[in-house]
């Protein structure tokens, strides 16, 4: 087992032979440049409020470590044009995976979350961790080969999984749709790569992706809602993911809604949003309508394929199938009902709707939006925007890369490896 797996599992101090570099000053400088791309020394002094000699020392440390470069000249504001410092996103690579209920996305990213190689394929999370993560390992190697990146250039691994995760240990906790994954040591599974591994719930990871590169850029308080097989939300407060006391914040699929009928959810309770409005619920109701002869289009699709999906319902609704229109409208109304509670409670300025079902058409989004505006308090919706994700299936991998980079450069972690050059060098 690598040093990093030990460290991350046991929380012990690491690599006694590496010099410990103080985080004070280093992290603010890095944070500013990671967020803004480049800046002059004067701009950094203003942004970080560090004293001149401390700032110069920290910049020197970061230049020596290879995390910063100084190869551009800015615009003069009077005297000599300033040299600009920039964050070197190409200093290392991140391997990331976004595991959904029925798909796997794997990518190689730079240290800013820029995607350099990306593979997506259908998969079954229920096949268990050995099968799924074994395939992720193969795809990791394919991504590295595609870009021609040596394994030693990898600095960290970020993984999103479709269930609750105890972030501190990286282990899934009683995930309802992930048989065999409860308590599984995902981090240790990648120990051979010798780099730190971070694992989080996939919806949190997608919300981070939206914050970094999607509709959430520059927005401090927003909610990302994924409508896939199930329904979940990632909550961004003050520009950071809010995980809650035990990491289950945003589990909105099991909020009780008024649907006018009783359906038992996979969690065992009755009346959960997901049991009416998730992708699996839409597919179930569509198949029932097809079998009962209520929709000729769905019947034809079912006869051809042998099963139906939420995407089929969206397609049929676009062709004017009344049953499909009704199913999607009802799903939108119930999702809107849940979000009304969130809006009144949390007062976000933005709600981003993503996931496979959300991408299927405008009707769902329009109904969600209409329900929220009709039912929320006027002050809560005054500046509220409801948008569909523009990142689609890249939100997860971009977010997983952002998560890994944020943790690598966090005050609690950076000092442990900065003196050694790279986090990978120790393995
Ligand atoms: Zn439930």
Show the 3-state SS of 136-148.
HHHHHHHHHHHHC
| Rounded mean pLDDT, 151-155 | 94
CA of 251 to the centre of ligand 1 (A): 9
CA of 230 to the centre of ligand 1 (A): 10
pLDDT confidence band for 19 (50 / 70 / 90): low
pLDDT for position 401? 98
pLDDT for position 157? 98
| Rounded mean pLDDT, 251-275 | 92
Neighbours of ion ligand 1 (CB under 5 A): 254, 265, 267, 269, 272
CA of 176 to the centre of ligand 1 (A): 10
CA of 254 to the centre of ligand 1 (A): 4
pLDDT for position 425? 52
Give the span between the Cα atoms of 51 and 49, in whole angstroms.
7
pLDDT for position 115? 96
pLDDT for position 350? 96
pLDDT confidence band for 193 (50 / 70 / 90): very high
Give the span between the Cα atoms of 59 and 178, in whole angstroms.
45
Q: What average pLDDT does the chain have? A: 90
For residue 49, count CB atoms less than 10 angstroms from its CB and return exposed for 0-12, middle for 13-18, buried for 19 or more: exposed
Nearest to 418 by CA among 39, 58, 158, 154: 58
Q: Which residue has the tokens 């997860």?
A: 396
8 A C-beta contact, residue 312 and residue 327: no
Using the predicted structure, report yes or no on whether residue 5 has a pLDDT greater than 60: no
Give the span between the Cα atoms of 274 and 261, in whole angstroms.
13
The total number of residues written for the chain in this structure: 427
Give the span between the Cα atoms of 12 and 195, in whole angstroms.
16
CA of 278 to the centre of ligand 1 (A): 11
CA of 264 to the centre of ligand 1 (A): 8
CA of 296 to the centre of ligand 1 (A): 31
Q: What is the pLDDT of residues 325-355, one digit of tens each?
A: 999 999 999 999 999 999 999 999 999 999 8
CA of 206 to the centre of ligand 1 (A): 21
| Rounded mean pLDDT, 312-330 | 94
Q: What is the pLDDT of residues 84-122, one digit of tens each?
A: 999 999 999 999 999 998 899 999 999 999 999 999 999
Torsion region of 404: left, alpha or beta (phi above 0 gives left; psi -120 to 50 gives alpha) = alpha
In the chain, the N- to C-terminal Cα span, in Å, equals 9
Give the span between the Cα atoms of 191 and 207, in whole angstroms.
27
CA of 135 to the centre of ligand 1 (A): 30
Angle between helices 322-346 and 362-375 in degrees, nearest 10: 40
Please give the helix or strand (H or E) that residue 234 lies within, else none. Answer: strand 231-237
Nearest to 113 by CA among 98, 133, 134, 127: 98
Tokens of 391: 């990142």
CA of 250 to the centre of ligand 1 (A): 13
CA of 272 to the centre of ligand 1 (A): 5
8 A C-beta contact, residue 276 and residue 269: no
CA of 271 to the centre of ligand 1 (A): 7
Give the span between the Cα atoms of 200 and 234, in whole angstroms.
11
Give the span between the Cα atoms of 268 and 258, in whole angstroms.
17
CA of 418 to the centre of ligand 1 (A): 44
- Residue 269 DSSP symbol: -
Tokens of 182: 């409860």
Side-chain-side CA neighbours of 240 within 13 Å: the count stands at: 7
CA of 227 to the centre of ligand 1 (A): 14
This model's pTM is above 0.85: yes
| Rounded mean pLDDT, 290-302 | 96
CA of 231 to the centre of ligand 1 (A): 10
CA of 165 to the centre of ligand 1 (A): 17
pLDDT for position 177? 84
CA of 55 to the centre of ligand 1 (A): 52
pLDDT confidence band for 294 (50 / 70 / 90): very high
Q: What is the pLDDT of residues 229-258, one digit of tens each?
A: 889 999 999 989 998 887 788 989 999 999
Nearest to 97 by CA among 128, 121, 66: 121
Beta bridge partners of 105: 98, 120
Dihedral through CA 283, CA 288, CA 293, CA 294, nearest 10?
-70
CA of 111 to the centre of ligand 1 (A): 37
pLDDT for position 362? 87
Phi, psi values for residue 146, rounded to 5°: -60, -40
Least trusted range by pLDDT, from 20-34, 145-159, 400-414: 20-34
Tokens of 150: 């040596």
CA of 423 to the centre of ligand 1 (A): 41
pLDDT for position 244? 86
């Amino acid at each position: 087992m690598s040093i990093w797996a030990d460290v991350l599992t046991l929380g012990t101090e690491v690599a006694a032979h590496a010099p410990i570099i103080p985080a004070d000053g280093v992290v603010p400088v890095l944070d500013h440049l990671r967020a803004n791309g480049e800046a002059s020394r004067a701009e950094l002094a203003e942004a970080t409020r560090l004293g001149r000699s401390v700032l110069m020392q920290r910049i020197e440390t970061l230049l020596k470590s290879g995390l910063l470069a100084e190869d551009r000249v800015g615009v003069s504001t009077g005297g000599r044009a300033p040299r600009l410092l920039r964050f070197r996103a190409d200093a290392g690579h991140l391997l990331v995976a976004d595991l959904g209920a029925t798909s796997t996305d794997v990518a190689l990213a730079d240290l800013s979350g820029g995607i350099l190689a990306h593979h997506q394929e259908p998969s079954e999370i229920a096949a268990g961790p050995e099968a799924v993560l074994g395939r992720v390992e193969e795809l990791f190697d394919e991504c590295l080969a595609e870009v021609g990146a040596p394994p030693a250039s990898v600095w960290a691994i970020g993984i999103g999984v479709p269930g609750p995760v105890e972030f501190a240990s990286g282990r899934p906790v009683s995930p309802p749709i992930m048989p065999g994954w409860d308590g599984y040591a995902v981090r240790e599974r990648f120990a051979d790569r010798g780099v730190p591994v971070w694992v989080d719930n996939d919806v949190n990871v997608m919300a981070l992706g939206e914050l970094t590169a999607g509709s959430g850029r520059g927005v401090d308080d927003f909610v990302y809602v994924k409508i896939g097989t199930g329904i979940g939300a990632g909550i961004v407060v003050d520009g950071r993911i809010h995980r809650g006391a035990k990491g289950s914040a945003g589990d909105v699929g099991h909020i009780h809604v008024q649907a006018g009928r009783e359906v038992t959810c996979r969690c065992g309770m009755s009346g959960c949003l997901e049991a009416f409005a998730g992708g699996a619920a839409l597919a179930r109701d569509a198949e029932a309508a097809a079998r009962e002869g209520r929709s000729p289009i769905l019947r034809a699709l079912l006869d051809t394929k042998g099963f139906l999906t939420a995407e089929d319902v969206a397609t049929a609704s676009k062709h004017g199938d009344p049953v499909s229109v009704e199913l999607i409208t009802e799903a939108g109304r119930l999702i809107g009902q849940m979000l009304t509670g969130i809006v009144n409670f949390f007062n976000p300025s933005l709600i981003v709707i993503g996931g496979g079902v959300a991408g299927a058409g405008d009707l769902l989004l329009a109904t969600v939006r209409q329900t929220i505006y009709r039912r929320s308090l006027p002050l809560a919706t005054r500046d509220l925007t409801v948008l569909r994700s523009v990142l689609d299936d890249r939100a997860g991998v971009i977010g997983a890369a952002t998560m890994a980079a944020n943790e690598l450069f966090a005050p609690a972690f950076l000092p442990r490896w900065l003196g050694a050059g790279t986090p990978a060098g120790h393995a």
